[in-house]
Amino acid sequence: MTKVLIADNLSPAAVEIFKNRGIETETRVGLSKEELIEIIPEFDGLAVRSACKPDADVIEAATNLKVIGRAGIGVDNIDIKAATAKGIVVMNTPFGNAVTTAEHAIAMMFAAARQIPAADAGTQAGNWPKKSFVGTELSYKTLGLIGCGNIGARVAERAKGLTMKVVAYDPFLTEERAVELGVEKVDLDTLLARADMITLHTPLTDQTRNILSKEALSKTKKGLILVNCARGGLVDEAAVRELLDSGHIGAAAFDVFVDEPAKDNVLFGAPNFVATPHLGAATVEAQENVALQVAEQMSDFLLTGAVTNALNMPSVTADEAPRLKPYIDLAEKLGQFAGQISDHGFEEVIIEYEGEVSEINRKPVTAAALAGVLRASRGDVNMVSAPAVLHDSGVKFSETVTEDSPVYDSLIRIKVRVPKTANSDETGWRSIAGTVSAGRPRVVEVKDMPLEGDFSPVVLYVNNIDKPGFIGSLGAMLGEANVNIATFHLGRQSVGGEAIALIGIDAEPDPEVTQKIDALPHVRYAKVLHF
């Protein structure tokens, strides 16, 4: 039975989702790293929030793990690179707490603008410090968004409701989306120069780390209000303290810090600074939503192969999965074919899509094809790890799409360029094409030669010169070796030219049989393939 370990607190309703889908769960909260390593081999899935930390050592021990689900947005506690290399899907729930985080950012902006925490403390201390706190309005001010994705867009909507002007810096924000949101897309320097308030809504990556450096902050308006409810490490905290002390930054409000839990921080005690302990997603609604979402997503993946909100795998919706499955199967088998006949490795891979298949979600199909190509030489590679493995290997990769297919409704062709060898001074291409017929994958072309055949579990592949007597000699040799022929498919360039034979056989022949076939007159290459 499929089994999921729940290593952080999830709501009973989320556990019930797993149960109703026929998935067994075990809840073990507060495990030490050593305890987690000991039990993780038993599980197909791991559900976490932020406390459990599946690092490279845990993932190495996870021999059966297929998916890690994070109930929330941030995945800093998960070693995604190690998971990808192991072929484990990592998914989060970016939409479940988007509203909550956006609302917290707006609340922090108000708190900083009106100095609410300090005013509250002074009032409750009996000081009635009315003259000490003169705030600033948000209306008609310019808000600069660094990051305008799921959460940033919701902040923009709420800021527009406050009659604020919104400018946004986000390399992935399209002009069309900016118009739809009613924001102005700008570069970072323009945002820094124009914004009265800045709020950050971007993940922490190599590109965004310290995006608000001391140099960047020096370009901002005097009196800036700065809000960070995204990730610690996006802002130079020491520089913010310096600018708060000097008065250049009028107020700042942070929900996240470089080091958490933040028991001590350079910003603590600064004038006009507001801090909360990473509460962006801390509402009843958000905690429930992300728990339910991660349970649904993990169940869908484990039971149907649907992939939602994955960080290291193309998304496949539950509706798409049945339609994609035959093409994923075809692509993987074509990749296996190409990989197995590339004995000396390959330097380049090209995948060509023709016809109706060009219009579907091709990313998982491509991932399956690459997994097939790599499996012959790299062993345990799957759809999750294959793109990263290929990239790290330095092999060139490209993909082409043609809307029309001359013969078939859909056709996938995989071409691999093999390197020079001692027996050949020239590089060459290995090309395999196939289609889906009656829901089943079929080979329709090998080395540019038309040839229709099945992907039998064991196939004898022979590349020969088309000469009389070859088929008889081959059949007799297999008969003498007691190898039964299940299917036999032929293709050729022209009479007397190069030819291909794909022979489905019922059992693996002895290596000596293949060597004898390879030594036959007119045979250029013979190999047993497995699918």
CB half-sphere exposure, 296, CA atoms < 13 A? 13
Q: What are phi and psi of 520, to 5 degrees?
A: -65, 150
Q: Which of 104, 278, 413, 430 is catalytic?
A: 278
Active site residue 332: no
Count CB-CB contacts under 10 A for residue 149.
17
Among 249, 240, 232, 306, CA closest to 268:
240
Active site residue 28: no
Q: How far apart are CA 199 and CA 191, in angstroms?
A: 11
What's the whole-model pTM score?
Answer: 0.66
Query: pLDDT per position in the chain (531 positions), as tens?
Result: 899 999 999 989 999 999 999 999 999 999 999 999 999 999 999 999 989 999 999 999 999 999 999 998 878 899 999 999 898 999 999 888 889 999 999 999 999 999 999 999 999 999 999 988 999 999 999 999 999 988 999 999 999 999 999 999 999 899 999 999 999 999 999 999 999 999 999 988 888 999 999 999 999 999 999 999 999 999 999 999 999 999 999 999 999 999 999 999 999 999 999 999 999 988 888 889 999 999 999 999 999 888 989 988 888 887 788 889 999 999 999 999 999 998 888 889 999 999 999 999 999 999 999 999 998 887 778 888 888 888 888 899 999 999 888 889 999 999 999 886 545 444 588 899 999 998 899 999 998 899 988 899 999 999 888 888 778 888 888 888 888 898 988 888 888 888 898 999 988 888 888 888 888 888 888 889 999
Opening angle at CA 379, ends 505 and 444, nearest 5: 45
What was the pLDDT predicted at 492? 85
Opening angle at CA 123, ends 121 and 129, nearest 5: 105
Residue 357 DSSP one-character state: G
Q: Which of 42, 180, 260, 285 is catalytic?
A: 260
Q: Are 232 and 259 in contact (CB under 8 A)?
A: yes
Sheet-wide strand order for 89-91: 24-27, 3-6, 45-48, 67-70, 89-91
Domains of the chain: 3-94+285-304 (3.40.50.720), 98-275 (3.40.50.720), 315-453 (3.30.1330.90), 456-531 (3.30.70.260)
Burial of 476 (0-12, 13-18, 19+ CB in 10 A): exposed
Q: Which of 104, 201, 231, 430 is catalytic?
A: 231
What was the pLDDT predicted at 181? 95
Query: Could you tell me where the DSSP H helices lie in 174-265?
Result: 175-181, 188-194, 214-217, 237-246
What was the pLDDT predicted at 427? 55
Please tell me whether the peptide bond between 457 and the residue prior to it is cis, using omega within 30 degrees of 0: no
Q: Which residues of 339-364 are buried (b: 16+ CB within 10 A; e: fewer)?
A: bbbbeeebbebbbbbbbbbbeeebbb
Opening angle at CA 281, ends 275 and 283, nearest 5: 100
Categorise residue 511: left if φ over 0, alpha if ψ from -120 to 50, beta otherwise: alpha
Q: How far apart are CA 202 and CA 173, in angstroms?
A: 12
What was the pLDDT predicted at 89? 95
Active site residue 241: no
Q: What are phi and psi of 244, to 5 degrees?
A: -70, -45
Residue where the block lists tokens 């192969």: 305
Q: Are 297 and 308 in contact (CB under 8 A)?
A: yes
Query: Could you tell me where the DSSP H helices lie in 250-344?
Result: 284-304, 320-340
Q: What are phi and psi of 302, to 5 degrees?
A: -65, -30
User: Which token pair is 2?
Assistant: 């499929």
Count CB-CB contacts under 10 A for residue 18.
23
In the chain, DSSP finds a helix count (H) and a strand count (E) of 17, 22
Among 396, 417, 403, CA closest to 354:
403
Q: Are 175 and 185 in contact (CB under 8 A)?
A: yes
What was the pLDDT predicted at 317? 81
